Structure 1
Amino acid sequence: MSQTKPTDPHEASAHAAPQHASQFALLGQRRFAPFFWTQFLGAFNDNLFKTALIVVLTFDAASWTTLSPSMVTNLIPGLFILPYVLFSATSGQIAEKFEKARLVRFIKWAEIAIMGIAALGWMTHSLWLLVLAIFAMGTHSTLFGPVKYSYMPQQLKPEELTGGNGMVEMGTFVGILLGQVFGDVLVMHASLGIPVVAAGTVGFAVLGLLASYRIPVTPAPAPDLRIAWNPFTETVRNLKYSAGNRTVFLSMLGNSWFWFYGAMVLAQFPVYAMTYLKGDHSVFVLLLTVFSLGIGAGSLLCEKLSGRKVEIGLVPFGSIGLSLFGIDLYFASQGYVVPAAATVDALGMLAQPGSWRILFDVVMIGVFGGFFIVPLFALIQLRCDPKHLSRTIAGMNILNALFMVAAAGVAILLLGQGLTIPELFLATAIMNGIVAAYIFSLVPEFLMRFLAWLLIHTVHKVKVIEAGRIPEHGAAVLVCNHVSYVDAIVIMAASPRPIRFVMDHRIFGTPLLGWIFRTAKAIPIAPAKEDPWLLEKSYVDIAHALHEGELVCIFPEGRLTTTGEMNEFKGGIAKVVERSQVPVIPMALRGLWGHLLSRSEGNVFERAFRKGLRSRLALAVGLPVAPHAATPERLQQEVLALRGEWK
């Protein structure tokens, strides 16, 4: 049965699908909250311990070791990252083979033991026990990483993945920030600092364990998996497997590139704060704080900006921001007025001309970093084979580690060539633009989704009614009325999945629209009297796409409306369904008649301003129609009923 929809745009919003709770509501649910607090406490404890050790060995190295402070402070991060290279392949297999809640509890018990060893090292003044604990905590994090990101797709709905990932990224970076700040502050207290850190790290490990006991049972995706213990051959096998899914693999590379960018920028903050901002240690902490808060804010904003779906259009948006604000950080650094005093604290730095622009750039790099990284994680989780997700995450962790090591090497090389730190920021931002352009040229879907996202968040305000009726998996044909040249872009922005559009072959000759639809792998079609060969090829391409489980969208009218009323649906849709026997989803666009790119009456300038900025549109999605019932007449009635009187 078709459903008559309200005809007024304001009435339509009242009848739309019910509003979902925000991502913060997940913190009240057992399937997410215990997991969130477990990973938050783990990130906090890692960085509390690691920062405390680095600070002690920087300011009191002589009482601990004969090695130089610079050697030790570079050795510690290296020892923490090394297990990612050595054990990630094995940890990915373990996460696939064992039930996740039980595995997390095992990892948390191990964390208590490791922090116990560290506490013994603190209290006995044994550097090598602390170094052993650093390596062990790196191993602990290596084991937890694949579980962390493969747990969410098993417990969260697809529309919750972006919000869930945003919460986890926010929690991770806030945990890192708080751990670094507390580690720095606590250990500097001469008499009580070290005992407090020793007891505190054990205590927080216990809290993490207690939280983990509330994590619900999460079945193993591949319980019969035989673990291959050779990390090198398994790493190569994982990366080869991931490379078979082009979108997933390039998303992994994009994720690793973000860690390269972050390592290049963050590693310079201590010297940048001291040398260029003439600040003390509190200025470095201020830079780190605003960056972490930016990442947290950007991660949380992803859900709202994405419309509660995995919106990879945010990835190019994030990349643009990373480059723009990275470039501006260079110019802001040139405009910073050096204070008259020899050294300033954080408050003193804020009083200097140009300081707020620098902080704004740093926080916006964090915000756009969140826009970049959260959709990539969600896309990998959604598009990867569930039985191979943990191993894919493990392979990505290895890439992340290698990219961070490469970032250190590139930074050393560029600084050795005479670049200043602000110039290094500029070079990193330019490199980011080049890498982003390359990745988006290889996977045009990112750029297409960005253009679609931009359209519905700047020019129009689009309401999608019953978006959940667009199937998340499997083949289906979408049919819709044809009102304007941007119909396909509006539909693309509303769908959580890529869509293959069947378009009039003449559109492919249009400079901009032709490039857009060729990039989106649209299928050109022509009338039989114009090009019978192309028509038959179109049917073959449609059948092939449906056979591969894709969504195909057809505008059965065959041409844009010139009156605002729907034209008769042609018989080609029946031929498509007869060949492929897939369900048909009727949809109706409302509010596009009169758009600049429609064929409504009036001159171009009148139509350009008729709708106004942020004009209201709606896309109503109907119930699936079975293949045997999907006649052109029935589908036209369904679409007309969905559209109502609002054209």
Structure 2
Amino acid sequence: MEEHNQSSLLKSKRFLPFFCTQFLGAFNDNIFKNTLMLLIAFSATRALGLESNVVMNLAAGLFILPFFLFSSIAGQVADKYEKSSIIRRVKLAEIFIMLLAAASFVTESYSLLLLLLFVMGTQSTFFGPVKYAILPQHLSDDELVGGNALVEMGTFVAILLGTIGAGLLMGVEDTKELTAVAVVAIAIAGYLASRKIPKAEPADPSMKLDFNIVRMTGKVLKYAREDRAVYLSIMAISWFWFLGASYLTQFPNFAKTVLQGDSSVVTMLLALFSIGIGVGSMLCERLSGHKVEIGIVPIGSLGLTLFGIDLYASIPSYDVDQPLTWLQFIAHPESVRVLIDLAGIGIFGGFFIVPLYAYIQKNSRPERRAQIIAANNIMNALFMVGSAIAGIVLLGVLELSIPQFFLVIALMNLVIAIYVYTQVPEFAFRFVVWILSHSMYRVTHKDLDVIPDEGPAVIVCNHVSFVDALLIAGAIRRPIRFVMDYQIFKSTLLGPIFRLAKAIPIAPRHKDEEVYQQAFDSISKELEQGQLVCIFPEGKLTKTGDINEFRGGVEIILERNSVDVVTIALQGLWGSFFSHKDGPAFSGRPKRFWSKVNIVGGRKWQAKDVTAAGLELEVRELRGDNP
């Protein structure tokens, strides 16, 4: 697992054809759309008999409208039928659409091109749910973040290249003819790539398609709301598209009126933003340790806000006689900070969006995954329309400057982030775990594949420090319910963290009978629901570095729920700030930073074979001489 990375996926037949297909599709969308927009802006409005702004907004609306109308149907289709065949049919349709578009470009049939923009949006609508629903079927869990990172990087690079390509096409003499050739050639290349995509079996072939758009849109949104964490992840992704659309829409006027640059500065801003998202996306796999790690999503939120605020504060104060080229712009020392901020917004945007997409894919019910992704596409489109309305209100009605507009959306991002993370504590908990395991500790693990991928089990481990549970949670892919001494919940520092983790408090029976009984009831309920439960049978932190005697709590648990028990051991934590070495934990300064901690998996015990003494002996052997 630790040797593979995203680049290895680009050599895999499971992923490369799909990546090429989606990249070429996004590239063609943007060549077609941006060239048409430029033609409308500079020459087509006379032929249509309408003002440029009216036609531009009409074109943008026509492309996004199908996402509202047809996403629910597209989600059903993606769940009912084999996915690679759907992709091939969608790409074949793209060839026919682009042949009509080519003829329309050559004959300057702009009304038909606007209609084809709607049809192209429809084609993209049907590709969207398949695009994300197919990944979990072709990629393993430890490849899912890397795969999504490549998809997001590819999408934004395609947007960038499509925008630049459209500008280059507008600069040549035979614009319409070359555009006609380009869009058809790219569509054919995309179809050829799609023919190599491996099969992905249908999730629910017995489903009956419902073509009632209103009813099905409501139904897929209801499916998305069934899991609150998934639904709020969809809302967070949609908010990112609100932010992205807000920045991208304002780049031309921002470059012209605020930065006093020419069109090459607009292209540079777009390039920095897009490349930043690509870089951030590609870094996600390394930061997440090859697993779906939502702990880096709050880092993305924080970066989006901080760089957004700094962008407002970093506007250059120079005055020039004529618009600056991009080379002249970067030559000004004051400009560097603006460029860093835009790149930073892109990078942290990548941190933000990639784990969320992977989380939705991993945690959605397989038979409804494509429909939930369709719900995501509907909300994305709604938020992008919302960004346009926000721009009209804040910039037009309230007459804010563009830097002030950027400041407002950066602060809005902070408010929305706080709301999401308080509603879904798992995000905040995973953030704390990620920070801890990447600051004071360097955590490695071995043989943790002994822990089942699904179904209930009890994990037993030695107890060395107050952060044992956090480090274990960071190393194991599945959510875990930890059983912790009730006194720790009174801690100002750690109490809120373990409440976020939904840890189960337990007290000695002679001290608090009610808490004791409630703990075992809660453990039983979690196991009945197929969850992992982790206990520390010593019942207290070691004060000597040695393992204390295991108590019989695990045997009581197994009397009510006959489940497997897995042994693991912590190595290297004795002597850390959170352990009792040389005095009570938290006394004095932290003793070590970046300490190497190892978590070692043992074996799986059947319930009938479990004894507290036997578990203790095995954990002692696993830990060895490295307390």
Question: One-letter code of the match for 1:288?
Answer: L
Does the alignment pair 1:204 with 2:186? Answer: yes
Which of 458, 473, 494 lines up with 2:475 in the alignment? 494
| Matching residue of 2:254 | 272
Runs ≥4 residues deviating over 4 A: 602-607
Alignment of 1:177-216 (within 5 A): 177-189=160-172, 191-216=173-198
Alignment of 1:87-486 (within 5 A): 87-189=70-172, 191-333=173-315, 336-415=316-395, 416-486=397-467
Residues 579 and 585 in structure 2, CA contact (< 8 A), matched pair in contact too: no
| Matching residue of 2:44 | 61
| Matching residue of 1:46 | 29
Does the alignment pair 1:23 with 2:3? Answer: no
Question: One-letter code of the match for 2:413?
Answer: N
Supply the distance in 2 between the matched residues of 1:226 and 1:632 (Cα, whole angstroms): 53
Does the alignment pair 1:642 with 2:625? Answer: no
Deviation at 1:623, TM superposition (A): 2.3
Supply the distance in 2 between the matched residues of 1:94 and 1:542 (Cα, whole angstroms): 41
Deviation at 1:152, TM superposition (A): 0.3
List per-residue Cα deviations over 1:217-252 (Å, max 9, x = no partner): 111101111011011111111111221111111111
Supply the distance in 2 between the matched residues of 1:125 and 1:274 (Cα, whole angstroms): 30
Supply the distance in 2 between the matched residues of 1:201 and 1:277 (Cα, whole angstroms): 34
| Matching residue of 1:7 | none
Does the alignment pair 1:506 with 2:487? Answer: yes
Residues 339 and 352 in structure 1, CA contact (< 8 A), matched pair in contact too: no
| Matching residue of 1:552 | 533
Residues 61 and 68 in structure 1, CA contact (< 8 A), matched pair in contact too: no
Q: Which has the higher contact order (CA 8 A, sep 6+)?
A: 1
Question: One-letter code of the match for 1:442?
Answer: Q
Deviation at 1:277, TM superposition (A): 0.8
Percent identity over paired residues? 47
Deviation at 1:577, TM superposition (A): 2.0
Deviation at 1:348, TM superposition (A): 1.0
3-state SS of 1:512 partner: coil
3-state SS of 1:618 partner: strand
3-state SS of 2:439 partner: helix
Supply the distance in 1 between the matched residues of 2:310 and 2:407 (Cα, whole angstroms): 8
Supply the distance in 1 between the matched residues of 2:247 and 2:111 (Cα, whole angstroms): 30
Deviation at 1:418, TM superposition (A): 1.8
Which of 617, 626, 629 lines up with 2:606 in the alignment? 626
Residues 48 and 111 in structure 2, CA contact (< 8 A), matched pair in contact too: no
Supply the distance in 2 between the matched residues of 1:590 and 1:604 (Cα, whole angstroms): 18
Supply the distance in 1 between the matched residues of 2:327 and 2:219 (Cα, whole angstroms): 52
Aligned residues: 626
Deviation at 1:260, TM superposition (A): 1.0
Residues 45 and 204 in structure 1, CA contact (< 8 A), matched pair in contact too: yes
3-state SS of 1:28 partner: coil
3-state SS of 1:500 partner: strand
Supply the distance in 2 between the matched residues of 1:459 and 1:192 (Cα, whole angstroms): 61
Deviation at 1:470, TM superposition (A): 2.8
Residues 6 and 147 in structure 2, CA contact (< 8 A), matched pair in contact too: yes
Deviation at 1:64, TM superposition (A): 3.5
Moved more, 577-586 or 310-319: 577-586
Deviation at 1:607, TM superposition (A): 6.4
Does the alignment pair 1:541 with 2:552? Answer: no
Q: TM-score, normalised by structure 2?
A: 0.98
Question: One-letter code of the match for 1:225?
Answer: M
Question: One-letter code of the match for 1:86?
Answer: L
| Matching residue of 1:32 | 15
Deviation at 1:603, TM superposition (A): 8.2
3-state SS of 2:605 partner: coil
Question: One-letter code of the match for 2:239?
Answer: W
Q: 1:629 to 1:273 in 2, by over 3 A?
A: same
Moved more, 31-40 or 599-608: 599-608
Supply the distance in 1 between the matched residues of 2:613 and 2:259 (Cα, whole angstroms): 71
Supply the distance in 1 between the matched residues of 2:268 and 2:2 (Cα, whole angstroms): 38
Moved more, 60-69 or 29-38: 60-69
Moved more, 365-374 or 470-479: 470-479
Question: One-letter code of the match for 2:423?
Answer: L
Deviation at 1:583, TM superposition (A): 1.3
3-state SS of 2:281 partner: helix
Does the alignment pair 1:72 with 2:55? Answer: yes
Residues 459 and 532 in structure 2, CA contact (< 8 A), matched pair in contact too: yes
Does the alignment pair 1:83 with 2:63? Answer: no
Alignment of 1:517-528 (within 5 A): 517-528=498-509
Supply the distance in 1 between the matched residues of 2:481 and 2:186 (Cα, whole angstroms): 50
Supply the distance in 2 between the matched residues of 1:263 and 1:467 (Cα, whole angstroms): 42
Residues 44 and 110 in structure 2, CA contact (< 8 A), matched pair in contact too: no
Structure 1 gaps, min length 5: 1-17
3-state SS of 2:50 partner: coil
Supply the distance in 1 between the matched residues of 2:590 and 2:234 (Cα, whole angstroms): 43
Supply the distance in 1 between the matched residues of 2:28 and 2:448 (Cα, whole angstroms): 41
Question: One-letter code of the match for 2:557?
Answer: V
Residues 588 and 620 in structure 1, CA contact (< 8 A), matched pair in contact too: yes
Deviation at 1:466, TM superposition (A): 2.3
Deviation at 1:636, TM superposition (A): 1.2
Supply the distance in 1 between the matched residues of 2:119 and 2:14 (Cα, whole angstroms): 28
3-state SS of 1:42 partner: helix
Supply the distance in 2 between the matched residues of 1:439 and 1:120 (Cα, whole angstroms): 48
Which of 582, 591, 596 lines up with 1:601 in the alignment? 582
Question: One-letter code of the match for 2:215?
Answer: T
Question: One-letter code of the match for 1:231?
Answer: I
Question: One-letter code of the match for 2:464?
Answer: V
List per-residue Cα deviations over 1:414-455 (Å, max 9, x = no partner): 112021000000000000000000010000100000000001
Deviation at 1:339, TM superposition (A): 4.3
Supply the distance in 2 between the matched residues of 1:604 and 1:398 (Cα, whole angstroms): 50
3-state SS of 2:410 partner: helix
Structure 2 gaps, min length 5: none
| Matching residue of 1:577 | 558
3-state SS of 2:603 partner: coil
Deviation at 1:298, TM superposition (A): 0.5
Deviation at 1:62, TM superposition (A): 4.7
List per-residue Cα deviations over 1:37-78 (Å, max 9, x = no partner): 000000000001101111111122355332111111222111
Deviation at 1:533, TM superposition (A): 2.1
